């Protein structure tokens, strides 16, 4: 009985040694970098030559010149002597506030819809699936026009405003909300709350470490809550509850007092939130689906309730899948906020990249500042998501 002896594999005749492969990769990368540098140098030289040919003044000194126009929504002081730099700050804050509001509401609504899509109730799951498919397949700009022109513009005037419990009013001129008034002693109350929050974080950390070591907690949740609530309530009582509200009231043909949110902001917030929620719902659904069903069945076999299973097993593991695409969706919401210029909401695109550019004639500087602003905000969102993502990973780095 003969046995076949397998011969060792032959090395390729023309194979390059490892050092040659590394050198070839280095040469290829150097050539690519040289081509990129040459292209950027050509673009820069072209821009400089065109600026010189058209006799365009360059520099950022225009930011110190007075702007001479008003902005519909401003969250910082903006007077007659405001400069173009003040205009930039107002527009930047408007963009950031709109993005934050849209991210918060889109996340909350997206999680609810994502969970609804996984419901065993066919009606609930069907409604959630219909919402996702309809919203995702209608252009965001069209949705924005719908909310602004078809829903908010036809609203009644101030005298026939929609009344929300006598503290908030909605009409064609905007949404009127109560405005907080901080009275003497509020700083002491705020400091006490901050200290108690810090103490609560420390106690939660100690409690978690003790539970990981022994399996039991140090304190009950009710005891911690009572301990943290008592000092702020005591300080608030001693200072006479130093927080009041200026509620808007109808005076003549419009509302006086309170805080006014312009219709453009309301339309943008609704459109961005609903549009982003459709994509976040799919991200949440895919993250929960990625959790092994066997782990859920094992938790049920141990007698855990649905709330405990979702809190300790499903959600922590689903977050590892949810967070990376969720951060990408947040950045998409930031970029989509530039569509606010279509309905004249005073954001970076409309006020700074539009009005300021036309008045100053500094297209290069204005566009550089605008692009850098969007890039930095996007990088900040990405860094925050990456930091949170590292905290929930299985393998610590």
**pLDDT tens digits for 249-262?**
888 778 888 888 88
183 lies in some domain: yes
Nearest to 243 by CA among 169, 189, 166, 167: 189
The count of domains in the chain is: 1
Q: How many CB atoms lie within 10 A of CB 333?
A: 24
* C-alpha to C-alpha distance for 285 and 111, rounded to whole angstroms: 8
- What's the CA gap between 247 and 167, in Å, rounded? 6
Q: What is the radius of gyration, based on Cα positions, of the chain? A: 29
283: left (phi over 0), alpha (psi -120 to 50) or beta: alpha
| pTM tops 0.85 | no
Q: Is residue 219 a part of any domain in this protein?
A: yes
Tokens of 156: 């009644």
Q: Is 239 inside a domain boundary?
A: yes
Whether residue 393 is contained in a domain is answered as: no
How many H-runs (helices) and E-runs (strands) does the chain carry? 12, 8
Residues 6+ apart with CB under 8 A from 341: 347, 349, 350, 354
CA atoms of 207 and 391, how far apart (whole Å): 18
Residues of the chain with pLDDT under 70: 1-19, 215-222, 394-397
CB–CB of 188/277 below 8 Å?
no
Domain holding 185, by residue range, is 179-246
pLDDT given at position 249: 85
DSSP designation for 164: E
Question: What pLDDT shows up at residue 270?
Answer: 94
Q: pLDDT tens digits, residue range 183-240?
A: 888 888 888 888 888 888 887 777 777 777 776 665 666 677 777 788 888 888 888 8
pLDDT score recorded for residue 216: 64
The reported pLDDT for the residue numbered 221 is: 63
Question: Is residue 195 one of the residues assigned to a domain?
Answer: yes
Contact predicate 288/318, CB 8 Å: yes
pLDDT at position 292: 83
**Predicted pLDDT at 220:** 65
Cβ 370 vs Cβ 348: under 8 Å:
yes
Q: Is residue 72 part of a domain?
A: no
Question: For residue 217, is it within any domain?
Answer: yes
Residue 64 lies in a domain: no
């Amino acid at each position: 009985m003969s046995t076949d002896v397998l011969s060792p594999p032959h090395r390729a005749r023309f194979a390059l040694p490892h050092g040659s492969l590394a050198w070839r990769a280095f040469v290829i990368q150097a050539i690519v970098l040289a081509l990129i540098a040459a292209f950027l140098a050509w673009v820069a030289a072209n821009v400089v030559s065109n600026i010189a040919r058209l006799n365009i003044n360059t520099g950022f000194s225009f930011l110190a010149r007075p702007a001479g126009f008003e902005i519909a929504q401003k969250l910082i002081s903006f007077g007659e002597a405001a400069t173009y730099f003040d205009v930039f700050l107002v527009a930047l804050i408007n963009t950031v506030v709109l993005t934050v509001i849209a991210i918060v509401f889109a996340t909350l609504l997206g999680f609810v819809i994502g969970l609804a899509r996984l419901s065993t109730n066919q009606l609930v799951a069907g409604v959630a699936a219909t919402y996702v498919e309809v919203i995702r397949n209608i252009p965001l700009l069209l949705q924005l026009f719908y909310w602004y022109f078809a829903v908010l513009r036809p609203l009644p005037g101030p005298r026939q405003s929609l009344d929300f419990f006598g503290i908030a009013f909605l009409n064609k001129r905007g949404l009127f909300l109560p405005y907080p008034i901080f009275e003497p002693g509020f700083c002491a109350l705020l400091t006490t709350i901050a200290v108690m929050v810090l103490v609560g974080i420390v106690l939660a950390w100690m409690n978690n470490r003790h539970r990981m070591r022994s399996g039991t907690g140090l304190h009950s949740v009710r005891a911690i809550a009572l301990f943290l609530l008592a000092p702020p309530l005591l300080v608030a009582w001693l200072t006479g509850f130093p927080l009041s509200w200026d509620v808007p009231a109808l005076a003549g043909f419009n509302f006086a007092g309170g805080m006014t949110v312009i219709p453009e902001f309301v339309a943008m917030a609704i459109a961005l939130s609903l549009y982003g929620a459709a994509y976040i719902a799919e991200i949440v659904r895919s993250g929960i689906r990625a959790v092994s069903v066997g782990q859920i069945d094992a938790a049920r076999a141990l007698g855990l309730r649905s709330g405990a299973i979702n809190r300790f097993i499903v959600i922590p593991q689903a977050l590892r899948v949810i967070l990376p695409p969720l951060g990408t969706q947040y950045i998409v919401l930031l970029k989509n906020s530039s569509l606010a210029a279509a309905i004249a909401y005073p954001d970076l695109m409309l006020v700074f990249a539009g009005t300021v550019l036309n008045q100053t004639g500094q297209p290069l500087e204005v566009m550089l500042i605008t692009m850098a602003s969007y890039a930095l905000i996007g990088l900040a969102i990405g860094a925050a998501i990456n930091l949170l993502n590292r905290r929930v990973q299985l393998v610590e780095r």
